[in-house]
Amino acid sequence: MRTWLRKPRRGWRGGEDGFSLLEVLAAIVILSVVSLAMTAFFIQAMTYAKGNQNKTVAVNLARYGLFFMEKVNYQTYKTYFASQPTLSPEGCEKLNIVTCGADGAKAELFNKTPNMWEALNPTVNGRQYRIAVEFQDDFWETNKDKANLADYLLPIKVSAWDISRGPDDARGSAEVEGYITDEKIR
């Protein structure tokens, strides 16, 4: 019998064929499309996680600002908030002392309260943040059941935001509410 007339075997076992080049290319294309879709998903998830990290920093800074304000002198801030509804370092600068242009009451408050400038201008992970305190003068109107506490509590809202993003960026800003309490009930 002549072996050269026999039909040659295909594959390593007789009768089994391997993948053709076209099938291999089709599989690579399908795998590439699925991989790109998954990559887009992971990029979106990473962006969302970074936004949550920024929001967490802002919430923690707002809470820190509230804790700081809860310990300040009640009467001093009651007097300040009687004439101005907000306290923030906007329009002020610190060299040896804090100066706020024509607003002497704000500058005096910053200079009278130790570490106030640092508390309202924190830097976290190389990013500059700003904290503002707003007196909620309409609080007692909407909470009449708590009005008997008006002589002992100053309702405030503390906002914190990344300066590079601004206070209106929902992912990089936060607000918390609380009170400056009179020393008589602390």
pLDDT at 8: 58
Is residue 179 predicted with pLDDT exceeding 80? yes
Is residue 6 predicted with pLDDT exceeding 80? no
pLDDT at 169: 85
Does residue 60 belong to any structural domain of this protein? yes
Does residue 176 belong to any structural domain of this protein? yes
Compute the distance between CA of residue 166 and CA of residue 91 in angstroms, rounded to an integer.
15
Does residue 18 belong to any structural domain of this protein? no
pLDDT at 13: 56
Number of folded domains that form the chain: 1
Does residue 31 belong to any structural domain of this protein? no
Does residue 138 belong to any structural domain of this protein? yes
Residue 109 · residue 84 · CB < 8 Å: no
Residue 91 backbone phi and psi in degrees, to 5? 80, 5
pLDDT at 140: 78
Point out the least confidently predicted range of 17-26, 64-73, 77-86, 130-139.
17-26
Is residue 11 predicted with pLDDT exceeding 80? no
Does residue 93 belong to any structural domain of this protein? yes
Give the closest residue to 109 by CA, choosing from 82, 136, 138.
82
Residue 115 backbone phi and psi in degrees, to 5? 65, 15
Is residue 16 predicted with pLDDT exceeding 70? no
Q: What domain range is 167 assigned to?
A: 47-185
pLDDT in tens, 146-171: 767 888 899 999 999 999 888 888 88
Is residue 74 predicted with pLDDT exceeding 90? yes
Does residue 59 belong to any structural domain of this protein? yes
- What's the whole-model pTM score? 0.75
Provide the mean pLDDT of the chain: 87
Joined together, the tokens standing for residue 9 give 């075997």
Is residue 19 predicted with pLDDT exceeding 70? yes
pLDDT in tens, 89-140: 999 999 889 999 888 899 999 999 999 999 999 999 899 999 999 999 888 7
Q: Over pLDDT 70: what percentage of the chain?
A: 90
Does residue 180 belong to any structural domain of this protein? yes
Is residue 32 predicted with pLDDT exceeding 90? yes
